[in-house]
Amino acid sequence: MKYFYISFLFILSFMTAISRDNENQKGKETTILSNPDLVESIIVYSTTGNLKRSYTYDSNGNDTSITERWLNGQWVNYTRNNNTYDSNGNQLTFFTEQWQNGQWVNLQRGNYRYDSNGNQLTFFTELWQNGQWVNQLRYTYTYDSNGNKLTYLWEQGQNGQWVNNYQGTYTYDLNGNNLTFFSVKWENVQWVNYSRGTYTYDSNGNQLTSFGEFWENGQWVNSKRYTYTYDSKGNQLTSFYEKWENGQWVNYSRVSYTYDSNGYKLSELDEDWVSGQWINSTRYTYRYDSNGKQLTDLYEQWQNGQWVTSGRYTNTYNPNGNTLTMQYESWLNGQWTNTNTRLTFQDSKGHKTYFTGYKIEVTYKGTTPVTEETNNTSFSLNSTPNPATGLTTINYSVTKPGTVSLTITNSSGIESVRIYDNQMQESGNYSINYNVGNLPSGVYYLTIRAGNNAETKKFIVVK
């Protein structure tokens, strides 16, 4: 099992934030992919300033990364991180420095300790303040013989000593399913009840219900309740959420999912309970490549009785299935616009890193870097006639062999036609005829994607 730290880089709050995942719960082990590629660099594009993180490795797999920010037309040092691991890949330490006044200055460091089974026993962090290391956070865990987490203790550093914060206890059935959770918080130099949860499962280990309570005024008070359903393959079909209000359970929200024959999620529909009825809220639609890698995630909102396009994620991958690019765009004023959001990157070893920006570009050791300028088309995209009534001719050029996608979206950003979907094409000039007669009259957008670039042209359909 691999464990990685959460990087508390508060200095990044004013622009792009970067952190490392630290999931240590039973059943959340990271997945090692079959074709590991070592990350060489990650560029984060943000509307508030771009960052670049570059990695180097020693013979033991320990890595050092330097984060730079784009300032006055050049990359300038920002932060530096050093991570060490044991022979099983468990992280042992991290050490973070900040670039100030032309030199590296200590910022934060952390240590991890494990038992012989690789279960994380402790994790603590320190901050550099006034020329010395000061305790920040400490987590302590215990486990049963099956590796199920039994307890956790969260402490904070105050005035040179560790002070209790929260403590939790878990119980399990014979199959390792978590049955109960009970937490207390430290108040007035004593532990006080805080929250508890109860969970049920079907014979296949799928969670059927989740019931949460909080301690208020000396008694347990209902808080929230979830109910789940599944298909015969174990795919979750629905999630139903209720809140406790005025002494009774009240509908709050529900989610429905659909899947293809391979079990890949195709859609998610979120609804809210409003004035005694279920009202559409948001909808997500997913597309995948032949290897099951998610290519797009389209996000829509229900407004004035209809679905309105809100945003989309677009991903590309290398031949080993590792992420090359990830981009988020919002549909604003009839066009796709780069918009900052949280982007989650998982490398080939299962390490997760979180970014805030609208796009990331990843290069790997021994591969050709991807840049904003790299593309397979000359972007001589056009369609004639425009306006079009029936048959229209679409012209474009490909300067290097690669995959090409060609789509038509309406003025709401909803895809109407997918002419090509990652079709491999050789270099050359292309001209195709497409009949727009089946499209309603209105404004449309023709978009070509090649490599990591795209161009959109507006055209009009009239009847």
Q: Where is pLDDT greater, at 366 or 166?
A: 166
- Asked if 208 and 201 count as a contact pair (C-beta separation under 8 A), the reply is yes
DSSP at 235: -
**CA 121 to CA 384: how far, in whole Å?**
66
**CA 49 to CA 67: how far, in whole Å?**
13
Would you state the structure tokens that stand for residue 65, as one six-digit string?
Answer: 């990364």
Would you state the structure tokens that stand for residue 357, as one six-digit string?
Answer: 């920006």
Q: Considering the domain boundaries, does residue 44 fall inside one?
A: yes
Q: Considering the domain boundaries, does residue 40 fall inside one?
A: yes
Percent pLDDT > 70 in the chain is 86
Q: What integer is the mean pLDDT of 190-218?
A: 97
**CA 253 to CA 48: how far, in whole Å?**
34
- Asked if 142 and 151 count as a contact pair (C-beta separation under 8 A), the reply is yes
Residue 218 pLDDT class (50, 70, 90 cuts): very high
Other C-beta atoms closer than 10 Å to the C-beta of 116 total 5
What pLDDT, on the 0 to 100 scale, is given for residue 280? 98
Same domain, residue pair 212 and 315: yes
Residue 400 has pLDDT above 60, yes or no: yes
Domain of residue 17: give its range. 10-364
Same domain, residue pair 122 and 270: yes
The region of weakest confidence among 251-265, 312-326, 374-388 is: 374-388
Which long-range CB contacts under 8 A does 336-345 form with residues at least 24 apart? 336/312, 336/413, 336/456, 338/45, 338/47, 339/47, 339/311, 340/46, 340/47, 340/48, 341/311, 343/44, 345/42
Same domain, residue pair 343 and 387: no
**CA 78 to CA 68: how far, in whole Å?**
5
Same domain, residue pair 179 and 307: yes
Residue 453 pLDDT class (50, 70, 90 cuts): low
What pLDDT, on the 0 to 100 scale, is given for residue 381? 65
CATH of the domain at 436: 2.60.40.2550
Q: Where is pLDDT greater, at 435 or 382?
A: 435
Q: Considering the domain boundaries, does residue 305 fall inside one?
A: yes
**CA 319 to CA 158: how far, in whole Å?**
50
**What would the pLDDT profile of 288-330 be if each residue is shown by its tens digit?**
988 899 999 999 999 999 999 999 999 998 888 888 899 999 9
Q: Considering the domain boundaries, does residue 116 fall inside one?
A: yes
Tell whether omega for the bond before 385 is within 30 degrees of 0, i.e. cis: yes
**What would the pLDDT profile of 67-119 be if each residue is shown by its tens digit?**
999 887 788 999 999 999 888 888 899 999 999 999 999 999 999 999 999 99
- Asked if 126 and 156 count as a contact pair (C-beta separation under 8 A), the reply is no
Same domain, residue pair 326 and 422: no
SS3 of residue 275 by DSSP:
coil
Same domain, residue pair 387 and 359: no
Residue 367 pLDDT class (50, 70, 90 cuts): low
Q: Considering the domain boundaries, does residue 369 fall inside one?
A: no
Q: Considering the domain boundaries, does residue 3 fall inside one?
A: no
Alpha-helix residue ranges (DSSP H) falling in 150-249: none
Q: Considering the domain boundaries, does residue 376 fall inside one?
A: no
The domain boundary residue, chosen from 338, 364, 390 = 364
Task: Specify the DSSP element, H or E, that contains 137.
Answer: strand 132-143
Same domain, residue pair 352 and 392: no
Same domain, residue pair 157 and 211: yes
SS3 of residue 92 by DSSP:
strand
Q: What integer is the mean pLDDT of 407-428?
A: 74
Same domain, residue pair 344 and 389: no
Task: Specify the DSSP element, H or E, that contains 67.
Answer: strand 63-71
What pLDDT, on the 0 to 100 scale, is given for residue 411? 66
CATH of the domain at 189: 2.40.128.720
Q: What integer is the mean pLDDT of 424-443?
A: 83
What pLDDT, on the 0 to 100 scale, is given for residue 460? 86
Domain count for the chain = 2
**What would the pLDDT profile of 6-61 be if each residue is shown by its tens digit?**
333 333 332 333 343 433 322 222 222 334 578 899 999 988 889 999 999 887 77
Same domain, residue pair 338 and 408: no
Same domain, residue pair 340 and 446: no
Which long-range CB contacts under 8 A does 198-206 form with residues at least 24 apart? 201/173, 201/175, 201/177, 202/230, 204/230, 204/234, 205/175, 205/177, 206/230, 206/234, 206/236
Task: Specify the DSSP element, H or E, that contains 109.
Answer: strand 103-114
Question: What's the distance, CA 210 to chain centroid?
Answer: 24
